[in-house]
Amino acid sequence: MEDYEIAADILGKLRAKKGSIKGLCLAPRVKNKKKVYALICETLKMYPILTNLLDRTNFSAREPRVARDLATVLAHDLLFAKRGVLCGGWMKSTMTRHRTVLRAALLALARERRVEGLPSDPENAPSAVARAVLKHLDSGNQDVPLPRYVRVNTLRTTVAKAVKEFQRTKIVRKGTETQTLWKYGGLIDDWRSMAPDTFYQDPHLPELLVFPPSTDFHLDAQYKSGSIVLQDKASCFPAFILAPPPGAHCIDGCAAPGNKTSHLCAKLRNQGHITAFDLDARRLETLKTMTTRAGCRVIEAVHGSFLDADPARFPQVTHILLDPSCSGSGIVARLDALVDTQLAENPDEATVAANDLDRLLKLAEFQQQCVLHAMKFASVQFISYSTCSIHAKENEQVVAAILAAQNDFELAPRDRVLPTWPHRGEVGHGLSADNANKVVRAAPDDGTNGFFVALFVRKVIDVNAPPTAVKEEKPKNRAERRAMAAARAEPVESDAMEVDDEVVDVGRQSTRGPSSNKAPVRQSNVPTAGSSSSAVPAAGSSSSAVPAAGGSAGAARKKKIKRKHKHLPIVTRKTA
């Protein structure tokens, strides 16, 4: 009885827009969270029909003691749940009294709406009528259901082992286990043509397996052990594109519930460090649970806002993943969207809510703040920005605003950002055709939820680029040389010039770089996806891509110059 009363209370709060489905169902007072959550979701899907049936039968007038929201959740289980109303006492007796009239109203409604597949004797087969109505609704909600994606957690297993394990596993759909074992179909060409008993490997993300819609994994042994993660394909893009090498220090700025964080950890191979920020303490606990089950060992969960993080405290961070709050407009069959569509009193209300310009502008401002704050971290080289939104205001326009607001970062080239993925950004909205080609979009036509990803990379300085040098006059004698050195406030040796990282000898290549016929050395290399090396030193390393002045390499160069070029004048390199 308590579950129905709690579900009715949650339904009322959702109608009043006083919370989200997950937030209300995961509250401490809800003891049977999974049961209540499922009841709310299923009731929302059927909400227009349920209210229609209650109105047709004049239920509220006949049973004034039963509140409308309570009657709605009870009517759902009475008509559509396999086990009926799961309570006793006055609630069950009340609903039982109205069972016949409610079933008759459902049949009448099904006939009015020309529901196909009704039984030949519908009056005596109420369960068959209910199934036909449910099938009719499901077919109208989505033309082509999206596949179920499974990310193989490479911290606990390999793709090959996961494939073999699935081939020994019976197919389960919506909680019902069949006697059929899964078949493996290799790389999938067209996600729309999947066989119902076959799973495949994704052609873009090697650690992703693709299953037919409605496949249920919650009882699967690999799911329970953390060897697989249920994650939409597009949601896997950010960590895959960011591609931090093992040993890197990373930040996940808006981390909970943790799927992207655990994917990031898998990319690191549990080597390095991830600081995961989230403002919601409860969601942060969910992150801890999920990442622990996934075998993550290098994650530090921080309860707080990423915008409050002091960049000076994270000098080793080189990669930042940002998936900030967004409208969620790209999520197909998004649960909270059910509230906007099914509970809307005005048919146009949902459309207005989804396109609320003021809300989108506020979200876009917050998203820009997150990325610009990430760019303040001194050692950061790569920043991935993603949303599950279809709106250009949260995607291309945010990227364009960020590019215009600073000069230190640019968009990574296409060959670094899922180069074989065909769906790129929209031209316009402040982005040139070249920059739009560097970002990624995804949509239901691609077999995923709506999604957007951009990768910002720090601009690099070529330390071997031809310098803009000012040649000094050659001193005529020792006294002039001392006077020139004193003017520069540099120490002087009796027979040789001091050479530091910004000084080269005339007529030769930089003493820091290779010969001119080799590729230039950069202060920070741009590793390709899947690379296991990085120009950024690992934690605790004292090495640097450019030797410091006075180091052993510098000393060796000085000795060489002393022996061969004692009296050559010097020029000062101007760095960008």
pLDDT tens, position by position, 453-474: 999 999 985 545 554 443 445 5
Q: What is the DSSP letter of 522?
A: B
End-to-end CA distance of the chain: 71
Report how far residue 25's alpha carbon sits from residue 281's, in angstroms, rounded to the nearest whole number: 16
Q: How many residues comprise the chain?
A: 576
Percent of the chain clearing pLDDT 90 (strictly above): 43
Contact 527, 533 (CB under 8 A): yes
The amino acid sitting at 417 is V
Q: Per-residue confidence at 517, pLDDT binned at 50, 70, 90?
A: very low
Higher-pLDDT residue of 517 and 51 is: 51
Flag the least confident range among 119-128, 466-475, 554-563: 554-563
SS3 call for 278 = strand
Strands 570-572 and 451-458: unpaired
| Omega within 30 of 0 (cis) for the link into 64 | no
Lowest mean pLDDT among 124-138, 177-191, 301-315, 403-417: 124-138
Average of per-residue pLDDT values in the chain: 78
Predicted local confidence at residue 421, as pLDDT: 96
User: The tokens 């316009």 sit on which residue?
Assistant: 428
pLDDT category at 509 given cuts 50, 70, 90 is very low
Q: Contact 14/21 with Cβ under 8 angstroms?
A: yes
Cα separation, 284 vs 501, in Å, equals 46
Write out pLDDT tens, residues 241-280: 999 999 999 999 999 999 999 999 999 999 999 999 999 9
Looking at residue 461, its pLDDT comes to 57
Residue 501 has pLDDT above 60, yes or no: no
CB atoms within 10 A of CB 191: 20
pLDDT at position 466, please? 53
| pLDDT confidence of residue 279 | 92
What pLDDT was estimated at residue 105?
86
**Reported confidence tier of residue 208, pLDDT bands at 50, 70, 90:** very high
Catalytically annotated residues: 388
Q: How far is CA 168 from CA 163, 210, 523, in A?
A: 9, 17, 50
Amino acid residing at 324? P
* Secondary structure of 68-134 in HEC code, one letter for each residue: HHHHHHHHHHHHHCCCCCCCCHHHHHHHHHCHHHHHHHHHHHHHHCCCCCCCCCHHHCHHHHHHHHH
The predicted structure's pLDDT at residue 56: 86
Listed residue (269, 275, 273) closest to 538, CA to CA: 273
Report the alpha-carbon distance of residue 333 to residue 446 in Å, rounded. Answer: 16
- Higher pLDDT, residue 446 or 340: 446
Predicted local confidence at residue 266, as pLDDT: 98
CA distance 14 to 302: 30
The full set of domains in the chain, from first to last, is 2-141 (no CATH), 148-230 (3.30.70.1170), 234-458 (3.40.50.150), 463-576 (no CATH)
Contact 402/354 with Cβ under 8 angstroms?
A: no
CA dihedral over 300, 305, 306, 309, signed as positive or negative: negative
Amino acid at 349: E
Tokens standing for 170?
């019976």
CB 231 within 8 A of CB 439: no
Rounded mean pLDDT, 342-354: 42
- Classify residue 478 by its DSSP letter: H
Asked whether the beta carbons of 300 and 275 are under 8 A apart, the reply is: yes
Question: Which backbone phi and psi does 32 adopt, to 5 degrees?
Answer: -95, 75
Residue 448 CA to residue 425 CA, distance in Å, equals 16
Residue 137: the pLDDT is 61
Please report, in range form, the residues annotated as the binding site for S-adenosyl-L-methionine: 254-260, 278, 323
Contact predicate 250/321, CB 8 Å: yes
C-alpha 288/C-alpha 291 separation (Å) is 5
Phi, psi of 454 (to 5 degrees): -130, 145
Residue 462 DSSP one-character state: B
Is 353 a residue whose pLDDT tops 50? no
- For 308-377, strand residue ranges (E) read 317-322
Compute the distance between CA of residue 365 and CA of residue 461 in angstroms, rounded to an integer.
30
Q: Which residues 6+ apart lie within 8 Å of 423 measured at CB?
A: 440, 441, 442, 443, 446
Backbone angles phi, psi at 457, to 5 degrees: -130, 140
pLDDT in tens, 151-168: 999 999 999 999 999 999
320 contacts 250 by C-beta, under 8 angstroms: yes
Pairing of strands 183-187, 198-201: parallel
pLDDT, tens digit, 9 for 90 and up, residues 419-438:
999 999 998 889 999 999 99
